[in-house]
Amino acid sequence: MGKRAPAARPQQAVPLRRRTQRVPVPLLVPAALGLAFLVLPLAGLLIRAPWGSMWQHLSEPGVLTALRLSLLTATAATGACVLLGVPLAWLLARVDFPGRRLVRALVTVPLVLPPVVGGVALLLVFGRKGILGSWLDATFGITLPFTTTGVIVAEAFVAMPFLVIAVEGALRGADVRYEEAAATLGAGRWTTFTHVTLPLVAPGIAAGAVLCWARALGEFGATITFAGNFPGRTQTMPLAVYLALETDLQSAIVLSLILLTVSVAILAGLRDKWLTSP
């Protein structure tokens, strides 16, 4: 009998190295100009910031009032968006009904609608002479325009699409077999939704809520149109920045830095939601 050939040793996988591509000059130049166009205004904000008197500007009553009101209204608007937007996202993701595409399009309209137009639309519906506003005023004595509640309504109107889109995407990416298994074990629809579906999409809800909160915090057009610009009642940080540009540029820069810090923190915290590792 002949000798057996020695067994071949398994070859170790050699990691592939990513080839470095040379960037063509016709692409590099406009890319660098585009980056500079986006970064230089932010850098200018940091350079012109009154770092020496920062705390003095932050402690001004008007700044603190606008900051407090912005945090309050943005949080309340986000809560309303979660309460209404999560069921709406579930409906769009799980139920196949006639006109679903139209409903989804209507939900996303505030994303592209000019905020001032949104404020005018809110006035036509919830104003004292609006479609629903006149009834609310006559029946319950409730007036929404030019009130703090009106700020919350305006912010929720422009911010809710961010939550709905994020939650619907999370629902479409979730494994429905867990929900089917729960239904097979005798769980009702509500129990399945609260004990299975919501935990599955909790990260998507959290990401959508953060984006929604950030959008509400920076809302300007719909707020000033529907709620006005009254210090202590409807003047949020973006509105305070707009007003401070005419009277106190340093305070406007300080408020702008606060909004910039919030935006950067949110982008850093949610970068994994839309960016993949290299």
What residues does each domain of the chain span? 76-231
* Residue appearing with tokens 């911010």: 159
Tabulate helix, strand, coil % of the chain (nearest 5): 75, 0, 25
**Each residue's pLDDT expressed in tens, for the chain with a length of 278 residues:** 455 555 555 555 555 555 556 767 777 888 888 988 888 888 888 888 888 777 877 777 778 888 889 999 999 999 999 999 999 999 998 888 898 899 999 999 999 899 999 999 999 999 988 899 999 988 888 899 999 999 999 999 999 999 999 999 998 888 788 888 888 888 788 888 888 888 889 989 998 999 899 999 989 999 999 999 998 899 999 998 888 888 878 888 888 888 888 888 877 776 655 444 34
CATH of span 76-231: 1.10.3720.10
- DSSP assignment of 48-115, as one string? TS-GGGHHHHHTSHHHHHHHHHHHHHHHHHHHHHHHHHHHHHHHHHH---TTHHHHHHHHHHHHHS-H
What pTM value is reported for the model? Answer: 0.82
